[in-house]
Amino acid sequence: MTEPRLGIVILAAGEARRFGACKQLALFHTKPLLQHVIDAALPLRPTRLVVMTGKYHKTIAAANDEGVVTGAELIHNPDWSSGMSSSIRLGCELLSDDCDQLLVLLADQVLVSTSELETLIARAVDGGSACAGFSETVGPPAVFSRAWYPDLLTLNAENGAKKLLNDPAKQVAIVPMKSAGW
């Protein structure tokens, strides 16, 4: 049996309103937040790893050109202002043909480790999904198997991924992960 082909979508399209600047490139232990997340994801050997950009696309692209951010393909989501669902939907559209599983992470989840991501992937078996459980809620990082792609392609602001993850009719493994709630 072959291993599922993994696609990784890092959500970095938001405007970081409360932060007041490009949070994705803010330094944490001398590295941009986004680079920490990319570095945690790369050892998973994804078929594709994309960063969905939006408001700060030009700034992040410049950081990529300068070698400050490396290891991922940048994709601009022109509909970024409509919320995370649009980036998840676009990421699924772009990666669905090449990948059997889709791992969705946030650009500021710098405390999530590679081993925690490996645990999530291992728990998303038999067409199911797995997500982080933290602070009495569920959310990213989350792994979606191919059977979930039709649902991901219909996400919108009112019906986001969290609603899918909370659907009792869906097979979702919840993995306790305090680091995801930072």
d(CA 90, CA 153): 8
- H-type alpha helices, the chain: 33-41, 57-65, 84-95, 114-123, 149-152, 161-165
Q: Is the pLDDT at 1 greater than 70, yes or no?
A: no
Summarize pLDDT for 81-120 with one digit per residue, the tens. Answer: 999 999 999 999 999 999 999 999 999 999 999 999 999 9
Summarize pLDDT for 45-68 with one digit per residue, the tens. Answer: 999 999 999 999 999 999 999 999
Tell me which CATH homologous superfamily contains domain 6-181. Answer: Spore Coat Polysaccharide Biosynthesis Protein SpsA; Chain A (3.90.550.10)
Hey, where are the domains in the chain? 6-181
Model-level pTM?
A: 0.94
CB-CB contact of 33 with 110 (8 Å): yes
pLDDT of 16 reads 74
Residue 114 Cα distances to 118, 127, 141, 179, angstroms = 6, 22, 11, 12
For residues 62 and 1, the model is more confident at 62
